[in-house]
Structure 1
Amino acid sequence: MTRSGANLGRSSWRFVLLVLVLACAVIAAWFWRDFSRFGNTPLRVTATGQSIEFGRGTSFKDIVHQLRAQGLSTAAPLYWRLLAEEMHVAGRLHAGEYALVAGMTPQQLLTNMAQGKVMQRDVTIVDGWNFHDVLQALSKADQLKHDTVGLDDATIMQKIGAPNEKPEGRFLPETYAYVKGDSDLDVLRRAHDAMSKTLDASWAKRDLNLPLATPYDALILASIVEKETGRADERQRVAGVFIRRLQKNMLLQTDPTVIYGMGASYTGTIHKVDLTTDTPYNTYTRPGLPPTPIAMPGKLSIEAALHPAAGDDLYFVAKGDGTHVFAPTLDEQNRNVACYQLKHCQ
């Protein structure tokens, strides 16, 4: 081969090599650009409230397969693996149910899985509900296991670690978050613990010389206050009336306890005969507090029961607009009843 032929051969190989290098560079650039775009491209979330659940022991390969099978991503599994490695989360993704929201990217999903930010739902116990109301709400809570079905009250209390306690009044009204796989017993246990802590803390700071022997007495009174008024500016005044009646050994004569004692026979109206029909909860026929709370009192009602308003009022009557009028004497109370209940105002 001549010198010129050898030089031409070397030039051809250099040209081919250059082309290959450039081709690899272009492919690498395209790949990196496509990979970067993948990490920040929203998943295909098609509905509000959509979620995806990964069971315990699910491999990374199966996670990607599930994402692709549900139509959330069409990206190659290699992209998901590279992204997880780049984010340093491969091998530490948590099982559970994860919320999918519009605009969520693969990076955001992997971040949530690495941090265990599983999807949470809420269930609310409302101030003034009774235990039956609480169980009804839990039975309707989405994705909550219903382990209380078929259990009586005593068994439920035993299972949440509160044996020999009556359930009424024992659960703090509040909104509780839960995740898929939790049970209604889990929520009840948390609500019971929250009430116990709240009651104990409030009892330790109670006013002196109250006619309440135990925190449970305070819980009973608080439940009555809760059912008597929904107005924050009246709770302490209502509590003050009942505290003074207890101190004077007067009957409490509060309709909500009578209604509670009537149970299923109450149809929305209380009659005179109901006030004279004796039950353990009829505070027109029996002195002192009823044997248990009649509802779940909120924190404000507990505080009112333990810090009642001072004064000399011994009576109150509903005005019909959500408020009450108070009176220190029976004569004044009778005039208020005639005016606001019978509409015979003088």
Structure 2
Amino acid sequence: MSDTGLDLAAGPADRARGHSRRGFGCLAVLLALAVVGIGLFVVVTRGVDYLDSRLNGPDDYAGEGRGSVRVTVKPGQTATDIATTLVAKNVVKSVGAFTQAAGADPDGDTIQPGVYTLQREMSGESALALLLDDSSRLEVQVALPEGLTTDEIVTSIAGQSDLRAADLRAVLRRPESLGLPAYADGQVDGYLFPASYTIGPGTSARDMLTMMVERFQQAASDLDLVARAEQQGVSPHDAVTVASLIEAEASRPQDLARVAAVIYNRDDAGIALQLDSTVHYIAGTSGQVFTTEEERAIDSPYNTYLYPGLPPGAIGAPGEAALEAALEPASGPELYFVTVNPSTGRTLFARTLSQHNANVARLRAFCRSSDAC
């Protein structure tokens, strides 16, 4: 800047700097245009791809494929889950090819768990057709949760496999053929172990039920059930019965041993167990929270309101955790328990009847404002 207060004519160096700034401005414009151009290219390309997929459908192979490949469908998998497996095995070309076919078929959501024989490079429709064809299924996965009654087990097996309920019941009428432990005394209830089973081609109803008894025998061996039941002062059969009661009454792992303690404490004191689960068992009302006066009056040796002591057998299939609780109950003087929140399984324990009645009042208050009851 001049000391006269006026701008002087720019010298050569100043003109060069001005030219450099103008060059930088042009470069910035060019870069901005390039970015815009790339953005437009991406948008147009994706738009073309989208329109292509909408007009022409997802990438797909044509025909029924070639070769042979085994595919496992697991319990609870969605069409997208199955499609992901099919793409990984090169059965279908894209996830969309299969999910689109499944979505368009009324039976597309009825694929059963199991092991299937498919071909490589099949169309989505062809792959779906084979997965819906029972003849393609080499092995079936049957999942049986804890706590089911024997009738519920039969229904569940028949619903997840090709085995017929009538055939399963026919086998159950001859329990001596299943390899039950001697202490079961011919009773099947409680000895069909809850687990996931794989049923292969040619598996019969007897094979299936025998597998379940063998799985119980394995769990009993792992837990040393016979020796530990003796240490607890009960027969192995009674331990299984107690485990079934625990399974029916408690839903949280931390409550299993405490429920076991209440059952043993009441039995030792000669107090009727008064477990609603046994009434639900004889009334066929499992899943309900409360019992009625009429139901509690049903004359049955399983009715623990009318008859003191343990029922004559299990009311459901206990899992390993419930069996462990029956063999290793908590220590404590509690004589009562009630689940005060059926949604979370929260259970309160009490030593006296007055404490228990207060806890029952909490349950009823909860049920007045909740659909969980």
TM-score between both structures, scaled by the size of structure 2: 0.57
C-alpha deviations, 1:198-249, integer Å up to 9, x for none? 224422462775341x111000000000000121111111111111111211
Counterpart in the other structure of 1:324: 347
Counterpart in the other structure of 1:108: none
Displacement of 1:187 in angstroms is: 1.4
The 2-side partners of 1:46 and 1:127 are apart by: 34
The 2-side partners of 1:182 and 1:171 are apart by: 17
Do the aligned partners of 2:179 and 2:213 also contact (CA within 8 Å) in 1? no
| One-letter identity of the residue aligned with 1:120 | E
Q: 1:279 aligns with which of 283, 297, 300?
A: 300
Do the aligned partners of 1:147 and 1:183 also contact (CA within 8 Å) in 2? no
Work out whether 1:151 is the aligned partner of 2:173. Answer: no
Q: Which moved more, 1:166-175 or 1:203-212?
A: 203-212
Work out whether 1:338 is the aligned partner of 2:361. Answer: yes
Do the aligned partners of 1:316 and 1:333 also contact (CA within 8 Å) in 2? yes
Do the aligned partners of 1:261 and 1:280 also contact (CA within 8 Å) in 2? no
Displacement of 1:46 in angstroms is: 11
Work out whether 1:137 is the aligned partner of 2:160. Answer: no
Change in CA separation of 1:238 and 1:174 when aligned onto 2, cut-off 3 Å = same
Displacement of 1:181 in angstroms is: 1.1
The 1-side partners of 2:265 and 2:193 are apart by: 26
The 2-side partners of 1:146 and 1:332 are apart by: 46
| One-letter identity of the residue aligned with 2:208 | V
C-alpha deviations, 1:56-82, integer Å up to 9, x for none? xxxxxxxxxxxxxxxx9xxxxxxxxxx
- The DSSP-based 3-state class of the residue aligned with 1:318 is strand
The 2-side partners of 1:340 and 1:216 are apart by: 33
Counterpart in the other structure of 1:99: 117
Q: 2:216 aligns with which of 195, 198, 203?
A: 195
| One-letter identity of the residue aligned with 1:129 | L
| One-letter identity of the residue aligned with 1:158 | E
Counterpart in the other structure of 1:244: 265
The 2-side partners of 1:303 and 1:99 are apart by: 40
Structure 1 segment 94-243 matched on structure 2, within 5 A: 99-100=117-118, 102=120, 119-144=138-163, 148=167, 151=170, 153-155=172-174, 157-162=175-180, 165-202=186-223, 203-204=225-226, 206=228, 210-212=232-234, 214-243=235-264
The 2-side partners of 1:236 and 1:102 are apart by: 52
The 2-side partners of 1:101 and 1:205 are apart by: 52
- The DSSP-based 3-state class of the residue aligned with 2:262 is helix
Q: Percent identity at matched positions?
A: 29
The 1-side partners of 2:161 and 2:280 are apart by: 31
The 2-side partners of 1:101 and 1:255 are apart by: 53
The 2-side partners of 1:127 and 1:266 are apart by: 14
Work out whether 1:311 is the aligned partner of 2:332. Answer: yes
Counterpart in the other structure of 1:64: none
- The DSSP-based 3-state class of the residue aligned with 2:199 is strand
Change in CA separation of 1:248 and 1:256 when aligned onto 2, cut-off 3 Å = same
Unaligned residue ranges in structure 2 (runs of 5+)? 1-64, 74-90, 92-114, 123-136, 368-373
Work out whether 1:253 is the aligned partner of 2:242. Answer: no
The 2-side partners of 1:122 and 1:244 are apart by: 40
Displacement of 1:132 in angstroms is: 0.6
Do the aligned partners of 2:168 and 2:206 also contact (CA within 8 Å) in 1? no
TM-score between both structures, scaled by the size of structure 1: 0.61
Aligned residues: 242
- The DSSP-based 3-state class of the residue aligned with 1:233 is helix
Do the aligned partners of 2:189 and 2:316 also contact (CA within 8 Å) in 1? yes
Structure 1 segment 67-86 matched on structure 2, within 5 A: none
Change in CA separation of 1:247 and 1:122 when aligned onto 2, cut-off 3 Å = same
- The DSSP-based 3-state class of the residue aligned with 1:100 is strand
